[in-house]
Structure 1
Amino acid sequence: MSVELEQEDDSIFEDRLWHHRGWEARVIKNEDDDGWAVAMTQDGQAEPALVGPWTMGRDKKSPKPLDMAAFNTLVKTACEVIRRSEQHLAAMLHKEIQIEVRGLRVTVALDIEPDEENPSATLTAIAADGSQLAKVRVRPDHNLTRSSAQRWADTGYPRDREE
């Protein structure tokens, strides 16, 4: 194989395996059919960030060899998958609702700390000027809605949250 690249110490450029700049692309047999798939794994991760179909070679049996253009596209796609996953997780762990309390805008935020053994959550009320009005611990499965936030504010932000 005559690929001219600036090889890093850990770079590998084989037909079915490329490892370069923190990513590994491995062409694997597709378990669901007779075709091939490619798995993209970032260094330090146990599971691939992306697994997708891979093109057959000219003989219609073997996979097409990896190349730089395909590798770069796969890295870009895998990075996008990771970014979207991180955004989704952040959205699941942090929620905000705006309410009105005595004519003033208040932001009520729910922040969940995931932990397999002891997950926790915090409910915080913040005034429009950025000052913290209240902060209490709540159950990690607390359902923050506009009405629950409004009830909490209307009752003076009690520290004991049953909801």
Structure 2
Amino acid sequence: MTDATQEYDEPEDDGPVQQPRLWQGNGWTARVIKNDDDEGWAVAMIKDGEPEPALVGPWTMGRDKKNPKPLDVNAFHTLVKTASEVIRRHEQALHAQLHKYLYVRTDEGELKVTMDIIPDEEHPYAILKAFDEMGEQVATARVDANFKLTSTSADKWVAADFKAPRSSQ
């Protein structure tokens, strides 16, 4: 036997786990767990490196009506797809909370006013920016993270020659 054949025959320690209640692969772990809320089972999908599951949902009972149905490749791939979609939606929602924009009409044309919240744990803040119709930045100002970007507040900022709005606290 050659060295290459020996390496091929030896089981890989870091290969994917594919057990009836535990599957790992594609950066995910699916774990079938006892549902504490009732007599059924649940499945938890955990993205590698994350402390908490991205998705926990009900899991099908097996034929004996006591034990869970074993995980299989099709179920695992469906769970990965669903959990990935949940994460994507959470990221989109967070992005929408942290990044806002609107348009303001001025005598010189339309301005796009953006607000990007910087969620620093100790001192969160936001950055207001104004862009002209060509996409050139014409102003920037630091504001409190709780600043409300509205048509009225943007109009006031523009009318004040882009002086940073006073703290709303």
Show structure 1 runs of 4+ deviating over 6 A.
none
1:87 alignment partner in structure 2: 92
- CA 97–39 in structure 1, closer or farther in 2 if over 3 Å, else same: same
* SS of alignment partner, residue 37 of structure 1: strand
1:155 alignment partner in structure 2: 160
Percent sequence identity is: 54
* SS of alignment partner, residue 31 of structure 1: coil
Contact 1:8 1:20 in 2 (8 A): no
- For residues 120 and 149 of structure 1, the distance between their equivalents in structure 2, rounded to whole angstroms, comes to 17
- CA 145–87 in structure 1, closer or farther in 2 if over 3 Å, else same: same
Once the 2 structures are TM-superposed, how far is the Cα of residue 160 of structure 1 from its aligned partner?
4.7
Contact 2:98 2:116 in 1 (8 A): yes
Give ranges in structure 2 of 5+ residues lacking alignment. 1-11
Name which of structure 1's ranges 148-157 and 136-145 shifts more when overlaid on structure 2.
148-157
Contact 1:101 1:154 in 2 (8 A): no
Once the 2 structures are TM-superposed, how far is the Cα of residue 20 of structure 1 from its aligned partner?
1.2
Name which of structure 1's ranges 139-148 and 7-16 shifts more when overlaid on structure 2.
7-16
Residue 28 in 1 paired to residue 59 in 2? no
1:111 alignment partner in structure 2: 116
2:131 alignment partner in structure 1: 126
Output the amino acid matched with 1:153: V
Tell me the TM-score normalized by structure 2: 0.88
Residue 12 in 1 paired to residue 23 in 2? no
Contact 2:143 2:164 in 1 (8 A): no
Once the 2 structures are TM-superposed, how far is the Cα of residue 161 of structure 1 from its aligned partner?
3.0
Residue 43 in 1 paired to residue 35 in 2? no
Tell me the TM-score normalized by structure 1: 0.92
Output the amino acid matched with 1:44: G
Name which of structure 1's ranges 111-120 and 33-42 shifts more when overlaid on structure 2.
111-120
- CA 102–34 in structure 1, closer or farther in 2 if over 3 Å, else same: same
Output the amino acid matched with 1:131: E
